[in-house]
Amino acid sequence: MKTIKKIATLLLMGSILICGTDFEVFAAAEESTREVNDEYKSCYEQDVHMNIKEEEQYFEVYSDGRTIRWEAQKVDDAVYAATDCYIRKESPNIESTDEMLIPQGTEVHRVGLSPNGWDLVELDREIYFVWYSCLTEDAPASYNTWEPAYDANKFQSMGVINWNGYHWTYYSQRVLPGGGLKIPGRHVGAYGFVCDENEYIVLASTTVAYGTVVETPFGMYGKVYDSGCAYGVMDCYCDW
């Protein structure tokens, strides 16, 4: 975890205070020692529209009219959803209806570390607010972590599997080479599936976001690198 030397205090216009207190400047040497007041989970009203402006060393976060303003120190961290959690586009409030659910294990890119606990993450080129304790640096277990529901060797002849709320299908790199998918450590792994460096099966999905990690019927995790299939379909990339 990167060390930040200083994060700016919350700046408030006039005499307005949020949650009755001001943020303190702090230095966070380790994420595990980070202390944040839980009151900030629902500090901002649900209808507050917070804007994010990128500066050279930090992100400026401010409300319409700049009544509320604070800064998030720029960082560059690959992190994962510690549990099924919501990320928010406009209002950093755990009760906000402006939200998108990401499943546990989904990889996101943390770009801003905030003094109030509402960190900034990037997903699909959009920046969202997420409560800091919903994130972890620990990648989910990647391979053979549960009993397979289906025999992957028979998947080719079966064609379609209905499992865990999805239609599981496959497509072949022999037909669609997929050179533009930017799969780190791309290789043919177990059972002929195309996998990444963590042995995640490469998936295509329109149902969940790019980078989402999901369980598959084959006792392995999969990760979404592609899209373009029908809603409700998980398309497994293979070498058949």
Q: Token match 């972890």: residue?
A: 136
**pLDDT score, position 141:** 62
One domain, residues 195 and 122: no
Two structure tokens written together for 188: 């043919």
pLDDT over 80 at 64, yes or no: yes
Sign of CA dihedral 79, 80, 81, 83: negative
Q: 128 and 26 in one domain?
A: yes
On the question of pLDDT at 12 being above 60, the answer is no
| Residues 63, 162 share a domain | no
Yes or no: say if 102 and 205 are a contact pair by the CB < 8 Å rule. Answer: no
Q: Which amino acid is at 14?
A: G
70-96 confidence digits (pLDDT tens): 999 999 988 988 877 888 988 898 888
Mean pLDDT of 36-46: 86
Task: Tell whether 126 and 15 lie within a shared domain.
Answer: yes
pTM of the model: 0.55
DSSP states of 33-71: G----GGGGS-S-TT--EEEEE-SSEEEEEEGGGSEEEE
Same domain, 115 and 174: no
Of the listed ranges 17-21, 40-44, 171-175, 212-216, the one predicted with least confidence: 17-21
Would the pLDDT of 8 be above 60?
Answer: no
- Note whether 108 and 222 are same-domain residues: no
Q: What is the pLDDT of residues 139-183, one digit of tens each?
A: 766 555 567 888 888 898 898 999 999 999 999 999 999 988 989
Clarify whether residues 131 and 160 are in a common domain.
no
- What average pLDDT does the chain have? 81
Q: Are 19 and 113 in the same domain?
A: yes
**Strand 161-163, strand 166-172: pairing:** antiparallel
Q: Which residue range(s) make up the domain with 233?
A: 152-238
Residues 116 and 90 in one domain: yes
